[in-house]
Amino acid sequence: MTDWIDIDALATRIPDGARLAIPADYGGVAMAATRALIRRHASGLRLVTVPTSGLQADLLIGAGAAAEIETAGVTLGEHGLAPRFTAAAKAGKIAIRDATCPAIHAGLQAAEKGIPFMPLRGLIGSDLLAARPEWHIIDNPFAGGSLETGDDPIVLLPAIRPDLALFHARWADRAGNVWIGRRRELATMAHAAVTSLVTVEARFDGDLLADEATAAGTLPALYVGAVALAERGAWPLGLPGVYPADDDELARYAATARTEAGFADYIAGTPRRAA
Amino acid sequence: MSPCTPTELSIAALARHVRGLRHVAVGNASPIPAAAALLARELSGGAMTVAILGSQRHNPYTDGGRELFDCAGQGRLDAFFLGGGEIDGQANVNLVAVGDRQAPQARFPGSFGSAYLYFVVPKVILFREEHSRRVLVPRVSFISAPGTSDQGIHRTGGPVALVTGRCVFAFDRARARFRLDSIHPGRDLAEIRAETGFEFDVADDVATTELPAQAELALIRDRIAGEIAETYPRFAARTWQCAA
């Protein structure tokens, strides 16, 4: 049975140093929980962005909560470069494991199948591959090594098994089943991680698995360690189909967080919950 | 109607590269390519499927973030647009960093899907509005995605063109070289040479980049602008004073 707990209790379930999978800005980001993590002075987190991040990673890096990030990209989108990520990268203050979107998806897919690696096309000849000693090239064992096909080299990526996945969704029911709609990468993250912590807009009155229409978009409680209620919990990011991003707030962040002092002011002045 | 702006010229030029295709996708931070894809879709009478990352309305996928890449791996995705912090004369793209890896001079957001899509999407159209020696370099300092691959490497796709704020280059994969195909109105070859950090060929019949037809321009302003505002509200407001 999944626990329903409050958001600060949820943040304490993410230990310092945890390998933490987080979704892209468009996919249901647990921003209220991120603020709770910063309030509890989390540190040493090893972020895995699925497959990219923006405000969430920038906040965690700026607040000194993250030691490492495996990512295909960190950006504030229309609001420009992610300022604290960029500053930390230039100062060498964060370990960046540069990836490409499908490499992160594939690594998680390996983990959800319980297999050690997944092959992926592309990558050969890129400096991403050169910088990742744990990525290996093998010859496709099914190619036959004919003159026409050569040996068909292909890259193998190790499984990515996060300690925790953290995300925000629209509903969870009493049992802890979580409705994710078509944001299936949240399911992939949750399957791959040891367990998941989820914040939701509202408690669903009923059983999400009882109706095929809701069951199709539901992550079963089996993968969910705890759920916390957080109305407007993705703010200032949006939640697809529920509310859009708060563009003015994102602009305020992008302008304020350009400097370390501005970032500190932003953190000190941000309310616990969405306005 | 007021005359075509440089942004609208880029939209029309990019749209020409994907005309008639079945399935076109647009990635991160790409409002102009997104507008181009939507314009091409309008001109196709709705036959084209367009996927815009970050859009709800223009998201045809139901299997999560992986679906675009799985489609591409199978050859179901015909075209993709890609930018670059740096792009070199062999069409190598750098989306990571300039300078020392541990303490870079410049850090870009990251490679996104480039290191994969560049290999498996038949038509990748490079787009960068800024056409300067800072961007168009002799050799990128980090290869996010290589422009060409050795024989024997699985490669069903790659770059076909580079559109900038000054001109359109075609890419010759066999020679790993760009060829200047058309120059935007008001620009000239001397300026393009001066602002390009790599060597390139010049087509014998180098043209002036075609302006969008009046009907296309009207479509961009009446339909596309509003649709783009869903995903890129700031861009739409800046370009067309238009809200979602």
A273 pLDDT more than 80? no
By CA distance, what is B145's nearest residue in A?
Answer: A126
CB contact under 8 A, A72 and B112: yes
Complex confidence, ipTM: 0.96
* Alpha-carbon distances of B56 from A34, A137, A182, rounded to whole Å: 24, 37, 11
**A164-195 pLDDT, tens digit each:** 999 999 999 999 999 999 999 999 999 999 99
Note whether A186 and A167 are within 8 A (CB).
yes
Q: How far apart are CA A250 and CA A55, in angstroms?
A: 8
pLDDT band for position A271 (cuts 50, 70, 90): low
State mean pLDDT over A128-140: 96
How sure is the predictor about B46, in pLDDT bands with cuts at 50, 70 and 90?
confident
Residue A6 has pLDDT above 80, yes or no: yes
- What would the pLDDT profile of A198-254 be if each residue is shown by its tens digit? 999 999 999 999 999 999 999 999 999 999 999 999 999 999 999 999 999 999 999
Domain boundaries, chain A: 3-100+160-269, 117-157
Q: Which of residues 192-211 of A touch B (CB under 8 A)?
A: none
Please give the structure tokens belonging to residue A149: 């096909």
* Interchain contact A124–B (C-beta under 8 A): yes
Tell me which residue in A91, A128, A185 faces B66 most closely, judged by beta carbons. A185
Taking contacts as CB-CB distances below 8 angstroms, the residues of chain A near B143 are 125-127
Please report residues of A whose CB lies closer than 8 A to that of B157: none
Residue numbers of B between 44 and 73 with CB closer than 8 Å to A: 53-54, 56, 61-67, 69, 73
Pairwise CB contact (< 8 Å): B116 & A241: no
E strands, chain A, in order = 3-5, 19-23, 45-50, 66-71, 95-98, 117-120, 136-139, 153-158, 164-173, 178-179, 195-204, 218-219, 224-229
Alpha carbon distances (Å) from B48 to A66, A157, A186, B24, B43:
42, 33, 28, 7, 9
pTM: 0.96
Please report the pLDDT score of residue A145 as a whole number: 58
pLDDT at B244: 66
Inter-chain residue contact A125 with B143, CB threshold 8 Å: yes
Predicted local distance difference test score (pLDDT) of residue A146: 56
Which of B26, B69, B80, B150 should we substitute to test contact with A (largest number of A Cβ atoms within 10 Å)? B69
Q: Candidates 3.20.20.140, 3.40.1080.10, 3.90.1170.50, 3.40.50.300; correct CATH number of A3-100+160-269? A: 3.40.1080.10
For residue B77, list chain A residues with Cβ-Cβ distance below 8 A. none
Would you identify the CATH topology of the domain B6-240? Answer: Glutaconate Coenzyme A-transferase (3.40.1080)
Domain ranges in chain B are 6-240
| Pairwise CB contact (< 8 Å): A124 & B149 | yes
Contact yes or no for A26 and B54 at CB 8 A: yes
- Asked whether the predicted pLDDT for residue B43 surpasses 80, the reply is yes
Cβ of residue A120 closer than 8 Å to a chain B Cβ: yes
A262 SS3 class: helix
